[in-house]
């Protein structure tokens, strides 16, 4: 008899949501987290929208919310700014989180639902029974041991090992990788009511963000497409240069440094196997335009947990049974991911001049909704030649 129905590797948002909904549905669940503290170190800009939270059973506490903002400010290379209200800005603005509390909140929900949790416990390999995954090998406080489980969930982030060990192809093309660096800067004079996005050659193939944490502190970060990187540490250098040239930020001092990478790929072909599934960054469920992953991770995690609870009742963790997860998360977010990946492939080719034209037009004519379609429609009248390039997105 396996010790657990489900072992979840990684206690970030994707892992905790999966564990919570699986445990709620009656599964015996263990979460293992390699770090010594949930939510730390932070690897994130921390911006989310609030629209999806209720539907996914997430009740934010006051500690998890660092700042509520009015919307997003998109800044062109020439400094022209276009403001978007929260309603129009899509999935990445509205709330700036404190991940160190938010991740713990989600883990607490999972534990309340009945999940077990081990910290400082690294998964180092999968146990296999023929072609079926039958558990996970972990290292914890100097001890290596095997934990038998009917299903292993890889919620182990960008650097996911579970998928690779299970033979699921999660490899990324260089153009689908973004390298990131961020300071939590204090003593600055940003606009504390807007999440700011600076696009163009200041952050080739990506953008610079300023997400307010409070009146004089913000997460100031950069993401750059891998194929645009030239020298070693190019990412940090671009951000440092930007900060030095921005009078609002120049006197800022860092309270925290964050680095990492995110995938900006099209949806991958497969996220399940016999007795294994992937969720969140590990399943490459990141928005290819924003690089945001929290909402998608929570959405997919809920589906995964609910499917696993059913699998427990049916005593069936075969790939066929887990197909319900594959279909479930794709029904929710696949089209959006694919469309944004197509748009990203175009966006990374645009010149500063083009960005200036687009932002200036949007500022002047306005836009009904922050969708690729609405933006292209708004720009089309003034710059039909530009929109022609994007015809296949319309």
Partner 1 sequence: MNKELDEFEIDITRCMHCGACVGSCPVNAIFLNEVVLEFNDDCTMCKRCVKVCPVGAIKLAGER
Q: Which residues bind partner 1 (CB under 8 A)?
A: 34-36, 41, 43, 120, 122, 124, 139, 157-161, 164, 171-172, 174, 177, 179-181, 226, 229, 232-233, 235-236, 257-261, 263
Nearer to partner 1 among residue 163 and residue 305 (C-beta)? 163
Measured from the CB atom, is 120 or 145 closer to partner 1? Answer: 120
Residue 188 tokens read as 């600055």
Is there a contact between 150 and 3 (Cβ–Cβ < 8 Å)? no
Compute the least distance from the CB of residue 112 to partner 1, in Å: 27
Task: Report the distance separating Cα 293 and Cα 48, nearest Å.
Answer: 9
Residue 303, Cα to own-chain centre: how many angstroms? 17
Instruction: Give the nearer residue to partner 1 in terms of CB position, either 54 or 269.
Output: 269
Shorter beta-carbon distance to partner 1: residue 89 or 282: 282
Residue with Cβ nearer partner 1 (159 or 331): 159
CB of 180 to partner 1, least distance (A): 6
Residue 262: CB minimum distance to partner 1, A: 9
Do 346 and 393 meet the contact criterion of CB atoms below 8 Å apart? Answer: yes
Residues 6+ apart with CB under 8 A from 384: none
CB neighbours of 84 closer than 8 A, spacing ≥ 6? Answer: 71, 72, 73, 74, 93, 367, 370
Give least dist CB 226 to partner 1, A.
6
Q: What would the two tokens of residue 158 be? A: 């960008």
Alpha-carbon distances of 89 from 162, 197, 225, rounded to whole Å: 34, 11, 22
Residue 257 CB, nearest approach to partner 1 (Å): 7
What's the min distance (Å) between Cβ of 179 and partner 1? 5
CB of 174 to partner 1, least distance (A): 7
| CB nearer partner 1, residue 135 or residue 206 | 206
* Separation of alpha carbons 377 and 364, rounded Å: 14
Task: Give the residue with the Cβ less far from partner 1, 40 or 85.
Answer: 40
Q: Are 3 and 147 in contact (CB under 8 A)?
A: yes
Phi, psi torsion values for 309, nearest 5 degrees? -60, -40
């Amino acid at each position: 008899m396996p010790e657990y129905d489900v072992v979840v590797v990684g206690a970030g948002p994707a892992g905790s949501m999966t564990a919570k909904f699986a445990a709620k549905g009656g599964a015996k669940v263990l979460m293992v987290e390699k770090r010594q503290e949930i939510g730390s170190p932070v690897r994130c800009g921390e911006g989310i929208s609030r629209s999806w939270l209720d539907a996914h059973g997430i009740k934010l506490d006051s500690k998890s919310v660092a700042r509520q903002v009015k919307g997003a400010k998109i800044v062109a290379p020439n400094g022209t700014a276009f403001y978007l209200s929260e309603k129009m800005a899509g999935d990445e603005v509205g709330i700036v989180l404190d991940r160190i509390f938010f991740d713990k909140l989600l883990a607490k929900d999972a534990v309340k639902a009945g999940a077990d949790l081990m910290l400082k416990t690294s998964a180092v390999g999968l146990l296999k029974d023929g072609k079926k995954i039958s558990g996970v090998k972990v290292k914890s406080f100097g001890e290596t041991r095997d934990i038998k489980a009917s299903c292993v969930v890889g919620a182990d982030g960008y650097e996911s090992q579970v998928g690779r060990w299970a033979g699921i192809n999660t490899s990324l093309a260089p153009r689908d990788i973004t390298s990131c660096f961020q300071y939590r800067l204090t003593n600055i004079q940003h606009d504390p009511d807007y999440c700011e996005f600076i696009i163009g050659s200041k952050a080739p193939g990506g953008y610079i963000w300023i997400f307010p944490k409070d009146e004089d502190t913000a997460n100031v970060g950069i993401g750059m497409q891998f194929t645009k990187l030239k020298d070693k540490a190019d990412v940090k250098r671009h951000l440092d240069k930007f900060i030095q040239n921005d009078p609002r930020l120049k006197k800022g001092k860092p309270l925290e440094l964050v680095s990492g990478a995110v995938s900006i790929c099209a949806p991958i072909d497969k996220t399940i196997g016999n007795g294994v599934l992937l969720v969140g960054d590990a399943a490459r469920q990141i928005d290819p335009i924003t690089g945001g992953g929290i909402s998608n991770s929570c959405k997919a995690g809920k589906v995964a947990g609910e499917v696993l609870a059913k699998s427990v009742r049916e005593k069936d963790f075969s790939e066929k049974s887990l197909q319900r997860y594959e279909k479930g998360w794709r029904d929710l977010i696949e089209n959006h991911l694919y469309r944004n990946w197509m748009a990203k492939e175009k966006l990374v080719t645009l010149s500063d001049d083009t960005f200036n034209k687009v932002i200036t037009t949007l500022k002047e004519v306005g836009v009904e909704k922050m969708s690729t379609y609405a933006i292209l429609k708004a720009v089309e009248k003034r710059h039909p030649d530009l929109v022609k390039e994007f015809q296949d997105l319309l």
